[in-house]
Amino acid sequence: MMTRRLILKGTIGGLAAASGGLAGSIARAALPAGTLESQTLERLAGKQPLLKRSYRPPNYETPVEYFDNVITPNDRFFVRWHLMQIPEIDASEWRLTVSGDAATQELSLSLDQLKHEFEPAEVVAVCQCSGNRRGLSDPHVPGVEWGYGAMGNARWRGVRLKDVLARAGLRKEAVEIAFDGADRPPLDATPDFQKSLPVWKALDENTLIAYEMNGAPLPHWNGHPARIVVPGWTATYWMKKVISIRALTQPLSSFWMASAYRIPKGKFPVIDRFTTQESETTTPITEMVVNSLITNLKDGQRLPARAPAVVKGLAWDGGYGIRRVDVSVNDGRTWEQADLGVDLGRYSFRPWQYVFTPRATGPMTVMARASNAQGASQTYELIFNGPGYHNNVVQRVTVEIA
């Protein structure tokens, strides 16, 4: 039976003291007003200590220090929810309903049916909250004040959404595929979190109903027993604990589509568009923009002069593929190409590193700039928007050479 429990069941407490080294380095990060008070490391059941951004609903960020591998472990993966009532679901009791006016028949599928009646599929893909880096916006904007870690990269295994839709029989009049999860709002006036995809994206072979994450069942906090995986697109579409899929002949008009997760039309260099949900001035956020992160250096860190130093990091985009990463060790005056690491697929993090030998002592500003196969690169100035989306400003880390 599906039960509902308050979100903070399990061990959750302030572990900043127990994790002093990591907490100390996080506290020194240069964040604008409104974010530092949320820099507390705390533990959710089944997770390593994460950065608490909010309790109700639970929003927890992965510290940069955890991104030391191209795959983000399940217990270090960020947590993002919109609604407070998040049930723990018995996988044997879970059912997925597939219906809608653009489906020829209604289905009710168990997890066992998904695993044994459909061809399995797998993809390595970055799951990134649309508001990642919102806390770095200047001027300050409202919303969950994420730093750099509202994201993770995992190997997702499940079945293709298109195969399930084919069994339900998709009518030619279908324009969108809508999703609902098992989480519920605390008040009737709070809109239920429902999302949709354009049919063409739902039918992409990489769009999955996933039941495994990095070779294990999905964690409770990341959508157990099944979630939607939409490689290349921001995580607002990655419905967790999915229980309903509907094929629609008209665009979904939920609050979370019509009002939320929208960006100014034409302001960002994205290719994938969600035209059935566009207005005259705004459009739904879709694909991730090209971005990178320096993972092994932090502001104020000391490096020895005249000794080889390594800058490491990750790069990613909306699935076009990382073409190159350039690094500057003189505040952007000159740039050198970094070495790209293992390629786990176009939707995955791409690791990179750059080795140099600092000569002079004193402060040194290190920067990283990723470019993708479409020719898009990171920006030097924030493309400001009210929700704080698509922050891909080139990162600066100032270290001390001694």
pLDDT mean over 289-311? 97
For the record, the structure tokens of 228 come out as 């939607």
Q: Rounded to 10 degrees, what is the CA torsion of 272, 274, 279, 280? A: 30
Third-level CATH fold of 291-401: Immunoglobulin-like (2.60.40)
* Nearby residues of 62 by Cβ (< 8 Å), 6 or more positions away: 50, 51, 72, 76, 77, 78, 149, 150, 151, 152
Residue 37: what pLDDT? 53
Residue 99: what pLDDT? 98
Question: Cα(49)–Cα(58) distance, rounded to whole angstroms?
Answer: 13
pLDDT mean over 115-134? 98
Residue 35: what pLDDT? 56
Q: Are 32 and 146 contacting, i.e. CB atoms less than 8 angstroms apart?
A: no
Amino acid found at 163: D
Q: Which of 211, 261, 303, 273 is nearest to 387 (CA)?
A: 261
Q: Which of 35, 33, 29, 31 is nearest to 52 (CA)?
A: 35
How far from each other are the two terminal CA atoms of the chain, in whole angstroms?
Answer: 62
Residue 33: what pLDDT? 54
pLDDT tens for 128-150 read 999 999 999 989 999 999 999 99
For the record, the structure tokens of 80 come out as 């993002």
Reported as a pLDDT band with limits 50, 70 and 90, residue 34 is: low
The mean of the pLDDT values for the chain is 92
Beta strands in 81-218 (DSSP E): 95-99, 107-110, 120-128, 151-160, 176-181, 194-198, 208-213, 216-217
For the record, the structure tokens of 253 come out as 């008009």
**In this structure, CATH architecture of domain 95-284:** Alpha-Beta Complex (3.90)
Residue with tokens 């932090």: 298
Q: Are 312 and 353 contacting, i.e. CB atoms less than 8 angstroms apart?
A: yes
pLDDT mean over 20-41? 49
Calculate what percentage of the chain has a pLDDT beyond 70: 91
Helix (H), strand (E) counts: the chain: 5, 25
Residue 188: what pLDDT? 87
* Nearby residues of 12 by Cβ (< 8 Å), 6 or more positions away: 42, 43, 44, 45
Q: Which of 359, 342, 248, 233 is nearest to 285 (CA)?
A: 233
Higher pLDDT, 15 or 276: 276
DSSP SS3 for 147: coil
Q: Are 64 and 295 contacting, i.e. CB atoms less than 8 angstroms apart?
A: yes
pLDDT tens for 234-281 read 999 999 999 999 999 999 999 999 999 999 999 999 999 999 999 999
Residue 186: what pLDDT? 87
Reported as a pLDDT band with limits 50, 70 and 90, residue 31 is: very low
Model confidence, pTM: 0.91
DSSP SS3 for 117: helix
- Is the pLDDT at 18 greater than 60? The verdict is no
For the record, the structure tokens of 359 come out as 């000569």
Q: Which of 16-25, 38-47, 375-384 has the lowest average pLDDT?
A: 16-25
For the record, the structure tokens of 370 come out as 């990723």
Q: Are 316 and 126 contacting, i.e. CB atoms less than 8 angstroms apart?
A: yes
Residue boundaries of the structural domains of the chain: 20-80, 95-284, 291-401
